[in-house]
Structure 1
């Protein structure tokens, strides 16, 4: 809102001064081009690290990084390994029986993995992801029954309280920052205890993944 209000404020004043108007436009375009590699993933990872250290060094949001200058900016680091994760999810998805695959939902417990499924998934013939994380929650369960779910991560206690069967099908590993590998378990969950449309509120979270399904356990 402040950006929009500022744009209207400047537009009304600069329209009477053509020289300043074009100077401002050139400055905006120039700064946009300089910062473009920081906003869009257009550089190889090594070039991106050098560029970000020279132009813009954002916070890493990682207590594990020993040398921040050796790391990619945090918003790009979340994307590392995305397509490989989607490829491994697709392998697990294609191994399902046709009747299971037809009703299988892909549940992502982080919005970065949900975004990866939605972005790369069509090339692997995957449906769109569902997720209870932040804004993804409001897109709902996309009318899935919940009888067959591939869960990308998630708390095992919560999953076992929600489904009759929970089986680990693959462990995905990636190096998100130098010297530290992240792991992501993909679970095949079957036989939801209450329809997904009814239990969906239990999947909603913002900061900490739910560890107890209060809907299926009937706890107050």
Structure 2
């Protein structure tokens, strides 16, 4: 049974103030660089609504489409959805602190720490699956804490519903559920695992995710192929960087608060009912490391520990040498906010990210897409006008293709094709397209170009104009005489997932 004492009042005004400041900051910077490659892909996917895509469930593309439709076809309009998700996340972290006995001061501190975390600002800045995954994880964690504190097994239905919605965005929330159930089995109360309401919660989650599972089954479970490719390419690096990247993405200066939060959940009798969450975090880490997943996968549960640590942090601040302690803590908060702004948001000139690009390379992926399209348009002009109707623009990855969809029409380009991810499902070109092929290569590839296309020669190169070494800088634009076989025969071999 959970804590019987009533909860403190929700710190509505302080939390709303933090949310308003965060929303204003994100809004002010939302259009500073440009679209991220994933955002360009999501926008195209949103124009092809389906119950699933080869690399993700449908929620993020649908949100991207809705946000752009309602708030404007621009990076700023698209990112309103990300800003709102960030606001909801801050409120959820505040609610977690309250659930764990935090008063108004602890809740405010939790909101401030969440709002100044590097990862929270970075994913709140743009629309990505991680943006809504973070919200889903915090929602599941908060509802799970309500279940534990109240001892009422009917909360399993709400936990299942939140998990089901999260699964419609990204399957990673299943790792959280597994870790929480494991923590419950180890630390108790185990009676909640024997309740038939747990079965109802599982059924609720399955019912919500079922359309996507059906889609995946009908298409041969392509998302498993994508996940396997990610692990094969990056699994070892992810394992080596697991600890340092978690520290960098959260903020090194918040680590003591997280440690205090874990210790509090583990040994403080007042929140002993939540010990399962303390057990869940190492169980989650084992899952992520074992699967070779990206280090940030475990960060949402770290935010729960951060919220739990706000009560002991305030206790520490109230002890001897208060002025010194409070000064140190205020300095740490200020330094953390400054670091998070520089790493997580586009506050620096786009051509000078320096070491920040190594910590958060996603900033560099928001630069240079119009220039990339310019390079392709210049190559297209080399094709005689009479031949363009039967010619094709082919991009090697979804970021390139998404940029050409977004910026190409204004530059006289036709709709592009690509064999990457779900773009392969939206092709191939008709076999009647027997003319030339304008090929935008992915940097560092191209050895097999002659296998599919003939008489290729370089006619351009991508230059973002900022001397920024991102994934597309220096990519070659090739003009080919045509394909070696009809598109329909080539397409299965042109399809790729990574």
Pairing 1:133–2:420 present: yes
Taking the aligned partners of 1:29 and 1:147, their CA distance within structure 2 comes to 54
Q: Report the alpha carbon displacement of residue 169 of structure 1 after superposing the two structures with TM.
A: 1.2
Pairing 1:198–2:489 present: yes
Taking the aligned partners of 1:181 and 1:130, their CA distance within structure 2 comes to 17
RMSD: 3.8
Q: List gaps (5 residues or longer) in structure 1.
A: 1-16, 45-50, 60-64, 208-220
Taking the aligned partners of 1:52 and 1:43, their CA distance within structure 2 comes to 19
Q: Report the alpha carbon displacement of residue 121 of structure 1 after superposing the two structures with TM.
A: 0.8
Structure 2 matches for 1:27-38, cutoff 5 A? Answer: 30-36=21-27
Taking the aligned partners of 1:42 and 1:67, their CA distance within structure 2 comes to 18
Q: SS state of the match for residue 428, structure 2?
A: coil
Contact 1:41 1:76 in 2 (8 A): no
Name which one, 1 or 2, has greater alpha-carbon Rg: 2
Flag the 1:186–1:20 CA change in 2: closer, same or farther, 3 A. Answer: same
| Cα deviation 1:29-60 (Å, max 9, x = unaligned) | 5543333356x33369xxxxxx984436349x
Deviates more, 1:83-92 or 1:180-189: 180-189
Taking the aligned partners of 1:30 and 1:142, their CA distance within structure 2 comes to 48
Flag the 1:37–1:148 CA change in 2: closer, same or farther, 3 A. Answer: farther
> Partner of 1:7 in structure 2?
none
Taking the aligned partners of 2:366 and 2:434, their CA distance within structure 1 comes to 27
Q: SS state of the match for residue 413, structure 2?
A: coil
Structure 2 matches for 1:139-150, cutoff 5 A? Answer: 139-143=426-430, 145=433, 147-150=435-438
Which one of 450, 453, 461 corresponds to residue 163 of structure 1? 453
Taking the aligned partners of 2:453 and 2:469, their CA distance within structure 1 comes to 34
Taking the aligned partners of 2:27 and 2:494, their CA distance within structure 1 comes to 36
| Cα deviation 1:111-134 (Å, max 9, x = unaligned) | 222122111111101112111122
TM-score by length of 1: 0.64
Larger helix proportion of the pair: 2
> Partner of 1:57 in structure 2?
343
Which one of 373, 389, 394 corresponds to residue 86 of structure 1? 373
Q: List gaps (5 residues or longer) in structure 2.
A: 1-8, 35-336, 346-351
TM-score by length of 2: 0.31
Larger strand proportion of the pair: 1
> Partner of 2:440 in structure 1?
152
